[in-house]
Amino acid sequence: MDRFRRRSSFEPPSRLGRMSGALRRLSSPSNKPRSITEEDVDSTKEFKGPLGLNLLHAVPEPLIDFIFVHGLGGGSKKTWSLSISPEHYWPKEWLGHDPEFRSARIHSFGYKAEWDELGGSVLNIHDFARSLLSEIRCNPDIRRSTVSGRIHTLYFLATPHRGSDLADILVNILRVSYGARPFVTELRHNSEMIASINDSFRHFANDLQLWSFYETIPSNFVFTKAIVVHKLSATLDYATEKPSPMNADHRGICKFDQQTDPNYQTLRNAFTATIDNILTQASRATSAISNDDHRRLTELTCVSEPPVKELSALEETRAPGSCGWLTSKKVYRNWQTGHHESRPILFLTGNAGSGKSVLSAYVIHELQKREKGCSYFFFKHGGATRSTVATCLQALAYQMARSDHRILRRFLQVQEDMSSASQLDEKTIWRKLFIGCIFKETDSTPVFWVIDGLDECERFSVFLTLIAQVPSHLKILITSRNVRDIEKGLAKLGHLAEQHQIDEKDTLGDLGIFVDSKMDSFPTGDDEGRQKLKNKILQKACGSFLWVALVVKELDQVYSEEGAEEVLNEVPSDMNKVYARMLGSSANNPRTAALASSIFMWTLLALRPLRADELQFAIKLDINQTVHNLHTSIPAICGQLAHVNQRDEVEIIHQTAKAYLLRLEEYPNIAVNRPQFHDRIALMCLNVLSGPIIKELQSSFAKGSPGSITGSGLVDYACEYFSHHLLKCSSENSATWDLLFEFLENNALLWIERLARRKDLRPISRTAKNLQAYLRCRIKYLPPFCSQIANLESWINDLTRLGVKFGANLSISPSSIHTLIPAMCPTESVISQVYGTRIRGLVIRGLNYRTWDDCLARIDYNTQQIVAVAQGDRYSAVAASDGTIFVYYQDSMQPKSTILHGERLKTLTFSAEDRYLASSGRKSVNIWDPAEGNLIRAINTEHVVSKLMFMDNSCALVAATQNNDIINWDFQTGTETERWQWIDSIRTVPDHHMPSQRQPQVVVFSPDYATLAVAYRGFPIFLFDMATKIHWVLQ
């Protein structure tokens, strides 16, 4: 555990703290020091504290070292003591007995920095720093080869980073009384030494956590009162810095009378926040595994780390001391401790903006701090990788394997025979990794999951169905907005789940703490004014942290009490009205309106979040403006409704804000016009693909630096999604149409090569489908005999076949698209005509076809006959007469898996997104995982099934049998939920010719399951309304 120990250090205020005494001596009749007895000297030395590094408090298993370093003129004990009484030495007496510091050793460091002793000194600040570093390195308990790597947090208490104007007075005093002190001279405002230290420190600050506490009460001097170190000098304005005011003067900022002192509580809460953070990191590190095992685990789960960035962002948002109300609730205590009255699933529901995500982060930290096994996930609507059940399960599986080597061993055993989880649906992941591995560990030690934002999950009903099967030792906490469908799902969990509705009473205290933490920026003059402003904020907040956070940002922009009062009177409680007010200044400013419109366009309509550098390049393409430092610019431009998250992605601050912006009407100049915005995005994507940047990117592969080209990220986005925006744009726009042909005739092969290098050819076939749909919309704006129509149809034809014909070759040699493949295409294909003539030195003879035939691929099944075929979104399936099912990638027709049904098949069908494949024979219906070829569920049938169809988001399966039955099965349980014999409705019509009990020749469901069509030999076609069971006849 030694390697996890981290050190936190202090810079105290006493560098100038004894200036008052110096001024008093200067004003006395004589500058001569009085005589001092030996007893005085001994007593002073004892109170001042020893020199060097001193251990104040030890613990059995230290993970953290706190080192208290006094300032100039102070002492290792005196600086931190209000009086000579030992109980006032709070680093030793208070922190040493604080249970939160059970993993922390506490030290003090003393050095000879007296300026009021006779005689000069040659020591400077660097000398003191070297002394501290030497003591640490030589200490047998905490020395390490790389001390700098262990420094986690620095706390500065009224530290004059930019010097102090009062230092000039002190220098003059010393010159006439005690002698020169270089370390005092270096504290002059913006001295050369301070400038050098600050310049060096900024290179390392990003790797550290910084807390800067500054005084707010003037110190008393002989003739005046003054702030010794002003806020401007006491803070550094770094991104990782957390500035905090203290209601104290310079001397009292680190001296406290009792533990209830608010200043002490502020400081102590900062310490515990650091402890929580370090212990969390240590907990993660203790589960370290070998590089090879981690690589294999990442390949299996497609996850390389927990969602720590989201967690860290929420931790920084939470005000110290908040969220504690939850742990005092009986329902939470019972859930955490496994009380016999508790249920394994705790649902926390609340309104939008009520602090649910921050509360989730608090629970995660509380569990990790108590060394409970905790895995977690944050759903985020609109994020392709953060809104699916499968992604959540992958993250949970990864974290559980990292924390439990028994689970890891099971994972590594199945990894050899199992595909990557990215190719599996959520139910297959659940069956293989959770039921097949994780839940087979019989240890009854409680394990915890924290799932935030379930309402933002695309298929939360599936997730709720899955967790109904969890073992009793797994405790799950879920947060969600109040959504009707969530309530229904919760009801189905029955006795497994308990719900707590977060109300205003729960969060009122936390809102107060949050407002208190921001009080220093409010334009108020005294405590009474602050309290009045706070009360008004809390009254209007209605329990919404989001509302308060937005109001605080507005208050940061005003400088008078009247201005603050005006803000609170104008800001409405309704969030949509708040959003409208926030957007006002941006929308009404022509300079920012165009920028805001461009940012909103990409953030709201892009199919994946853009990184900051990608968006910067996109804005330049869109409106020809170069915006630097987007992390700070975007909130200001977008009225605080957009920001850059911890993953460097640009996103809207909240789902409610996104919904508001998508239906924005108040400001037409920035309103989302979807066809026009898709037009703009499609044009930009095509400009990127048609321009020189993609050529530069491909040539840079030879140099080994593809990421060094500006805009490379946007090229990848354009490669994958340009056709989606083309399909969504206005089909009458001729500029988009013309640019599409420019791209196809010049850079289409570079686009294909780029996709092949990324090992993903699916966008090629998807582009062909989108272009086909786009052409159907565009054709009405073109002349009847326009040659471009036939040209685009040829491109669609070529792209449809390209992946199937040459997919295997492209995966081996992406660059072959420029040489071999055009020459191998039919001579009348558009690829051959446009690009084949550009190939020099290559002649292929013997090709006897000029056009593509209707055959995409030929597969020889030897003596077997083909009895059924099914086509899905990603896969195609072929059933042979011996009961074997062959599954192929649709874009390349390369084999994916082989399935053995066991009997001759009648029909095959895929579910939505190819999650499942259903096959039916004479006696059974089987449901398969097409990616892996594994059986998920088998259902015995009395009669041969003629047609199958998945329903209700693939949660139900419907069959039409040769016994004239419609049967519905619940997918999860395999139980029959409904049976209807359609021939009964024909018998209800008098004198109607009916086929008696004949077997139907053909049965077909309409795609929306609204109509059933049945054909019998010798009879007309019967159509049935599936809702009313009424039929009619097609003569």
Per the model's pLDDT, the better-predicted residue between 16 and 215 turns out to be 215
Question: CA-CA distance, 263 to 269, in Å (whole number)?
Answer: 10
Per the model's pLDDT, the better-predicted residue between 177 and 820 turns out to be 820
Distant-in-sequence, close-in-space partners of 143: CB < 8 Å, separation ≥ 6: 136, 137
Q: Identify the pLDDT of residue 187.
A: 57
Distant-in-sequence, close-in-space partners of 86: CB < 8 Å, separation ≥ 6: 93
Question: CA-CA distance, 497 to 841, in Å (whole number)?
Answer: 72
pLDDT, tens digit (0-9, with 9 covering 90-100), for 422-462: 667 788 889 889 988 898 876 677 899 999 989 888 788 88
Positive or negative, the CA dihedral 736, 739, 743, 745 is positive
Band of residue 225 on the pLDDT scale cut at 50, 70, 90:
confident
Q: Please, what is the average pLDDT of the chain? A: 81
- Residue 785 tokens read as 């005999």
Q: Identify the pLDDT of residue 695.
A: 74
- Least confident range of 201-205, 451-455, 545-549: 201-205
Band of residue 35 on the pLDDT scale cut at 50, 70, 90:
very low
Question: CA-CA distance, 28 to 191, in Å (whole number)?
Answer: 30
Rg, Å, the chain Cα set:
36
pLDDT, tens digit (0-9, with 9 covering 90-100), for 984-1009: 777 665 555 666 557 888 999 998 88
637 pLDDT above the threshold of 50 = yes
Band of residue 983 on the pLDDT scale cut at 50, 70, 90:
confident
- Least confident range of 168-177, 328-337, 704-713: 168-177
- Least confident range of 249-258, 826-835, 984-993: 984-993
Q: Identify the pLDDT of residue 995.
A: 61
Give the residue among 156, 155, 158 at the shortest CA–CA distance from 227: 158
Band of residue 710 on the pLDDT scale cut at 50, 70, 90:
low
Average pLDDT for 522-529? 77
| Structural contact between residues 276 and 326, judged by C-beta atoms closer than 8 angstroms | no
Collapse the DSSP code of 551 into the 3-class scheme (helix H, G, I; strand E, B; otherwise coil) and give the result: helix
Q: Identify the pLDDT of residue 279.
A: 76
Average pLDDT for 752-764? 87
Positive or negative, the CA dihedral 582, 585, 587, 588 is positive
Question: CA-CA distance, 817 to 822, in Å (whole number)?
Answer: 7
Angle, vertex CA 938, rays to CA 933 and CA 943, nearest 5: 125
25 pLDDT above the threshold of 60 = no
Burial class (CB in 10 A: 0-12, 13-18, 19+), 511: buried
887 pLDDT above the threshold of 80 = yes
Collapse the DSSP code of 245 into the 3-class scheme (helix H, G, I; strand E, B; otherwise coil) and give the result: strand
886 pLDDT above the threshold of 90 = yes
Average pLDDT for 268-273? 91
- Residue 248 tokens read as 């104290």
DSSP 218: P
Pairing of strands 976-981, 1021-1025: unpaired
Question: CA-CA distance, 726 to 795, in Å (whole number)?
Answer: 15
174 pLDDT above the threshold of 50 = no
Question: CA-CA distance, 339 to 409, in Å (whole number)?
Answer: 31
Task: Give long-range contacts, CB 8 A cutoff, 24+ apart: 493-496.
Answer: 493/345, 493/464, 493/467, 493/468, 495/343, 496/343, 496/344, 496/345, 496/468
Helices 356-369 and 308-317: angle between axes, nearest 10 degrees: 110
Q: Identify the pLDDT of residue 1029.
A: 81
Size (the chain), residues: 1035
Average pLDDT for 117-124? 54
Q: Identify the pLDDT of residue 484.
A: 76
Band of residue 302 on the pLDDT scale cut at 50, 70, 90:
confident
176 pLDDT above the threshold of 50 = no
Q: Identify the pLDDT of residue 847.
A: 67
pLDDT, tens digit (0-9, with 9 covering 90-100), for 567-617: 777 767 677 777 887 788 788 888 889 999 999 999 999 998 898 889 999
Average pLDDT for 46-71? 88
Answer CATH for 857-977 from 2.130.10.10, 3.40.50.12780, 1.20.1440.60, 1.10.3470.10: 2.130.10.10
| Maximum distance among all Cα pairs of the chain, rounded to whole angstroms | 131
Burial class (CB in 10 A: 0-12, 13-18, 19+), 629: exposed
Q: Where are the alpha helices (DSSP H) in 813-905?
A: 820-824, 830-835
Compute CA distances 207 → 69, 146, 151, 277, 976, whole Å. 21, 15, 9, 14, 60
Highest averaged pLDDT of the listed ranges 35-44, 192-201, 653-662: 653-662
Q: Given the structure tokens 């009360």, which residue do they identify?
A: 535
205 pLDDT above the threshold of 80 = no
Per the model's pLDDT, the better-predicted residue between 474 and 37 turns out to be 474
Architecture category of domain 2-27+41-278 in CATH:
3-Layer(aba) Sandwich (3.40)
Angle, vertex CA 93, rays to CA 57 and CA 39, nearest 5: 100
pLDDT, tens digit (0-9, with 9 covering 90-100), for 651-707: 888 777 888 888 888 888 888 899 999 999 999 999 999 888 877 766 665 555 555
Average pLDDT for 316-332? 87
Q: Identify the pLDDT of residue 4.
A: 39
- Fold (topology level) of 287-502: Rossmann fold (3.40.50)
| Structural contact between residues 378 and 453, judged by C-beta atoms closer than 8 angstroms | yes
Amino acid at 341: E
Q: Given the structure tokens 């920035």, which residue do they identify?
A: 670
Band of residue 188 on the pLDDT scale cut at 50, 70, 90:
low
- Residue 423 tokens read as 């190719």
Q: Identify the pLDDT of residue 523.
A: 77
Burial class (CB in 10 A: 0-12, 13-18, 19+), 883: middle
| Structural contact between residues 455 and 480, judged by C-beta atoms closer than 8 angstroms | yes
416 pLDDT above the threshold of 80 = no
- Least confident range of 176-180, 286-290, 845-849: 176-180
148 pLDDT above the threshold of 90 = no
Provide, rounded to the nearest whole percent, the portion of the chain with pLDDT above 70.
Answer: 83
Question: CA-CA distance, 948 to 957, in Å (whole number)?
Answer: 7
Band of residue 23 on the pLDDT scale cut at 50, 70, 90:
very low
Question: CA-CA distance, 936 to 917, in Å (whole number)?
Answer: 10
Q: Identify the pLDDT of residue 19.
A: 44
